[in-house]
Amino acid sequence: MSPKDLCTLNFLDQVVDSGVKVLKIEGRGRAPEYVATVTKAYREAIDAIANGTFTQDKIEAWMGQLETVYNRGFWSGYYLGQELGEWSKSNGSMATQKKVYVGKGRHFYPKSDIGEFLIEAYDVSLGDALLITGPTTGAQEVKLEAMMVNDQTAQVAKKGD
């Protein structure tokens, strides 16, 4: 059994109004897309608080984003007088999106904005959402809009292409 993940987005305005100047977001051992998604949601929330546009609709959208990456369910901790014992009902992640390893990036051509990849595990098709991670790219989500296999336009790239 694991504890649920602490999430303060629902009352972040109260946290900021209390005088807090620094937020620590745990991401140790998590994938780059986790760190990118969580920091983006909190950055947008803090900016919305600062400019007076922090709303329930926005909170729900940010929570929806957080649900797409690894999580064990969310709770608000003891900040608002919650009782002890918020435990996850399942082992592992409760993320709403499943990610699978597809292959390796071989080269990126920045002038033409084209990437070359070796498909090692699963087929990819036009329209697929891809998450590209690396030491210099961080976590980039893209939709596969065009591709070539063996110098021919293709709808699908198979393992080994």
Q: Helix 32-50 and helix 56-66: axis angle, to 10°?
A: 170
> Where is pLDDT greater, at 88 or 140?
140
Q: Which residues contact 104 (CB under 8 A, 6 or more apart)?
A: 117, 118, 120
Cα atoms in the 13 Å half-sphere on the side-chain side of 12: 30
- pLDDT reading at 3 higher than 90: no
Mean pLDDT of the chain: 87
pLDDT tens digit sequence for 115-153 = 899 999 989 999 999 988 888 878 888 999 999 999 899
- The reported pTM is 0.60
Q: Give pLDDT, residue 30.
A: 86
- Rounded-to-integer distance, Cα 7 and Cα 122, Å: 34
pLDDT digits (tens, 9 = 90+) for 15-43: 999 999 999 888 788 888 899 999 999 99
Paired tokens of 119 = 């498909």
Degrees, nearest 5: CA angle 93-43-35: 35
- Over range 95-116, report the average pLDDT: 87
What pLDDT is stored for residue 55 in this prediction? Answer: 97
**pLDDT tens digit sequence for 40-85:** 999 999 999 999 999 999 999 999 999 999 888 888 877 776 655 5
Q: pLDDT tier at 95 (50, 70, 90 boundaries)? A: confident
How far is the C-alpha of 81 from the C-alpha of 72, rounded, in Å?
21
